[in-house]
Amino acid sequence: MSARAKVHVIGAGLAGLSAAVRLAERGLSVEVSEAAAQAGGRCRSYFDKELGLTIDNGNHLVLSGNHAVRDYLATIGASDRLAGPDRAVFDWADIRTGERWRLRPNEGPLAWWVLSQARRVPGTRAADYLQIAKLLPAQPAARRVDQAMACRGPLWDRLMQPFLVAALNTEAEASSAELAGAVLRETLAKGGAHYRPRIAEPTLAAAFVDPAVAWLTAHGGSVRLGQRLKKLDVEGGRVVGLDFGDETTPVAAGEAVVLAVPPWVAQQLLPGLSAPDDFRSIVNGHFRIEPPAGALPMVGVIGGTAEWVFCFPGRISTTTSAADRIVDWDRERLAHALWADVAALHGLGPDLPPWQIVKEKRATFAATPEQEAKRPPARTELSNLVLAGDWTRTGLPATIEGAVRSGVEAARLTLS
């Protein structure tokens, strides 16, 4: 595309923002239209009146080896907005038994750490870790995780199952072996230097969203909020107009459209589009309380309702992935169950502090072989329209890294 040609980006989640940043970086004029009242999509922050705090909708974790996230943050000047340890360290606690341990992988790809009883999962032998290698080669499209490796024993219960649920947001056994392998190839197989945990600081919006909007504005782009696309006007195999209900924006010759909306919205706008249609939920609990002195910033929980517990200044938060089994519980029941895990972990009393429960019922598509087969490529049959979103065919599950990569791919196709 010629310099200063215009691109219309529909959707200001991380996929849309990533595409917009890459396109503006190449000198194109970018206009982002977002249906919601704020940018960020599922990666958002807001002031919660119940808590009197600004919180994230979820505790979204990224890893040091997520190169698309790293490049995106560097471009928008937000590389310093991720916090985490200097080395890959993961603390765990089994709520049922009271056991605690620390997983300490070595930095390089030669996983000698599994030879040390003090560094590996309690109750495992070095030979057990050969099971992980069964997921690393390319897998048949229809193969599930439970068809590729043994889903039992201490290694599965205390590392692989919680790791895969967190990464894929789907029941680990039923997940796509290929997607699980893709995550492992970029993390565990490359060594601890590639999976140091990183979390947005102070908020998701401050790390991923606000700097991107500011950067786009400074580079001649614009972000319009409260603009819901109702219809794509198509003529001659290309998009010629964007119908926002109260106005229609023409798409001139030489202009392009990046559609970065949820899959169910994309299917409404593009009838006949193949896209995932089965989803999994995530439940987050937020509690306004100062963490105890010396509390670990992040702990994986085995045997509880919560799966991860995070400590922030003035707040403790929990995350439960693939949470369909609990998402329909009433909010107070969820608060009590999640707080019970927090209290057991940090030695706190049973009385609930001020709390908030955040449910995302369609947080991600189900990372099963059946749903993976429905993911569309970024390119469409319309000559000037490409797709972006973590639900497109990125080769990764629905993660922040996948969303950002999808935006980069959408920008590449648009430019070509």
Question: Which candidate, 111, 135, 113, 114, places its Cα nearest to that of 126?
Answer: 114
The Cα-based distances of 325 to 55, 152, 329, 332, 361 in angstroms read 24, 21, 9, 16, 11
Where does the pLDDT of residue 299 fall: very low under 50, low under 70, confident under 90, or very high at 90 and above? very high
User: How many structural domains compose the chain?
Assistant: 3
Whether 63 maps to a domain, the answer reads no
165 and 40 Cβ atoms separated by less than 8 Å: no
In tens, the pLDDT along 43-55 reads 999 999 999 999 9
CATH of the domain at 251: 3.50.50.60
Residues 361 and 373 placed together within one structural domain of the fold: no
pTM > 0.85: yes or no = yes
pLDDT at residue 35, as a whole number: 98
Whether 148 maps to a domain, the answer reads yes
Whether 346 maps to a domain, the answer reads yes
Whether 1 maps to a domain, the answer reads no
Q: How far apart are CA 177 and CA 172, in angstroms?
A: 9
Q: Residue 267 sits in which domain range?
A: 6-52+203-276+368-415
pLDDT at residue 3, as a whole number: 54
Residues 182 and 118 placed together within one structural domain of the fold: yes
Residues 101 and 191 placed together within one structural domain of the fold: yes
Residues 6+ apart with CB under 8 A from 13: 39, 40, 41, 42, 43, 260, 389, 403
Q: How far apart are CA 82 and CA 70, in angstroms?
A: 10
pLDDT at residue 34, as a whole number: 98
In tens, the pLDDT along 31-43 reads 999 999 999 999 9
Q: What is the DSSP letter of 184?
A: H
Q: Which amino acid is at 167?
A: A
Residues 288 and 410 placed together within one structural domain of the fold: no
Strand 355-365, strand 248-250: pairing:
unpaired
Residues 179 and 135 placed together within one structural domain of the fold: yes
Q: Would you tell me how many other CB atoms lie within 10 Å of the CB of residue 240?
A: 16
Residues 357 and 296 placed together within one structural domain of the fold: yes
CATH of the domain at 339: 3.90.660.10
Burial of 58 (0-12, 13-18, 19+ CB in 10 A): buried
- Domain-terminating residue out of 164, 195, 226: 195
* pLDDT over threshold 80, residue 213: yes
Whether 75 maps to a domain, the answer reads no
Whether 57 maps to a domain, the answer reads no
Q: Which residue has the tokens 């908030």?
A: 356
The Cα-based distances of 105 to 102, 129, 312, 403 in angstroms read 10, 12, 25, 27
Whether 40 maps to a domain, the answer reads yes
pLDDT at residue 402, as a whole number: 98
Token duo for residue 301: 């929980």
Residues 98 and 244 placed together within one structural domain of the fold: no
Residues 153 and 243 placed together within one structural domain of the fold: no
Residues 266 and 394 placed together within one structural domain of the fold: yes
- Residues 98-122, mean pLDDT to the nearest whole number: 96
94 and 303 Cβ atoms separated by less than 8 Å: yes
Residues 347 and 396 placed together within one structural domain of the fold: no
- Domain-terminating residue out of 195, 213, 244: 195
* pLDDT over threshold 70, residue 2: no
- Domain-terminating residue out of 150, 177, 195: 195
Whether 390 maps to a domain, the answer reads yes
Residues 208 and 190 placed together within one structural domain of the fold: no
Where does the pLDDT of residue 5 fall: very low under 50, low under 70, confident under 90, or very high at 90 and above? confident
pLDDT at residue 290, as a whole number: 98
In tens, the pLDDT along 148-166 reads 999 999 999 999 999 999 9
Residues 321 and 175 placed together within one structural domain of the fold: no
The rounded mean pLDDT for the chain is 97
